[in-house]
Amino acid sequence: MPPRFIAKQLSYPTGFLGYLIGKLMNRHNAKMNAFAIRQLELTPMDRVLEIGFGGGVTLPSLIDGTAFISGVDRSGDMVKRAKVKYAAAVMAGHADFRQGSVEALPYEAGTFGKIYIANSIYFWSSLDVGFSEIYRVLSPGGRVVIAFLPKDRMDRMGFPMDIFTSRAPGDVIAALAGAGFKNMRIERPEPATAWNVIVATR
C-alpha cells in the first residue's frame, strides 16, 4: 500500500483496511502500551479516558481494571466497533465510546482521574489546545500518560507532513507545563528504547 494511504488510515482509520492496519499497529506497539499503561497506576476506583483509542488494544485492560472507562476517537468506524465489541460493558454503564477530538473533548470538567494517549499526538492540530482540554477534564491530582515515538525517530519514517506532525519530547513537556500540569517526567524501560512515555499530573 502507498505510504500516504497508510498515513491517512493511521490518522483516521476507516473501513476494513483501517481495521486491519489498526490490528497490525496493536501488535507493533504492544510493548509500549503495556509499559505505558503501568505508568497510569490504575486502581479499581479509577475513571479513565483514552484519547485516540483506534484499534482498541488497551481497552480490555482498562475495562477490567477500573470503575469506568471512556474512549474518544476521531474515527466513527472505530467508535462503532468499540461499542459493538464491548457492548456488555457499555450496557452495564462501565464503558462509553464517543466520536470527537482532543481539541474539544465531549466531557464535563473534572470527569476523569486518569487519561491515556498513545501515538495520537501526531494528529493534533495544537498541543497547547489539546493539553488545555485534557487539563480541564482531569480531576485535581489526576494523571495523564502520553506514549509516542519522538520527532527524531518519526522523521526517519517519511510520513507526509500534512498528515503527521512529529513531536519532540521537549515540545510536549512545554505544552503540558503551559496548560498547568506539573511533575512531568519521561519514562522508558531502557535508555535505548525508541519510544517515550511522558507522565504528568494536574
pLDDT digits (tens, 9 = 90+) for 37-72: 999 999 999 999 999 998 788 899 899 889 999 999
* Residue 11 predicted with pLDDT over 60: no
**Structure confidence at residue 155 as a pLDDT band (50, 70, 90):** confident
Dist. CA 53–CA 100, nearest whole Å: 11
Q: Are 170 and 141 in contact (CB under 8 A)?
A: no
| 3-class secondary structure per residue, 139-200 | EEEEEEEEEECCHHHHHHHCCCCCCCCCCCHHHHHHHHHHHCCEEEEEECCCCCCCCEEEEE
3-state class (DSSP) for residue 9: helix
pLDDT for 156: 76
Mean per-residue pLDDT, 150-158:
80
Amino acid identity of residue 134, one-letter, is: I
Q: Are 69 and 53 in contact (CB under 8 A)?
A: no
Mean per-residue pLDDT, 120-148:
96
Q: Where are the domains of the chain?
A: 3-201
pLDDT for 24: 55
**Structure confidence at residue 196 as a pLDDT band (50, 70, 90):** very high
* Residue 161 predicted with pLDDT over 70: no
- Domain 3-201 has what CATH class? alpha beta
* Residue 81 predicted with pLDDT over 50: yes
Which run of H or of E encompasses 78?
helix 76-85
**Structure confidence at residue 115 as a pLDDT band (50, 70, 90):** very high
CA atoms within 13 A on the CB side of 112: 30
Q: Which is it for the CA torsion 25, 16, 124, 116, positive or negative?
A: negative
* Residue 98 predicted with pLDDT over 90: yes
Mean per-residue pLDDT, 12-20:
54
The model's pLDDT over 19-29, given as tens digits with 9 standing for 90+, comes to 555 555 555 56
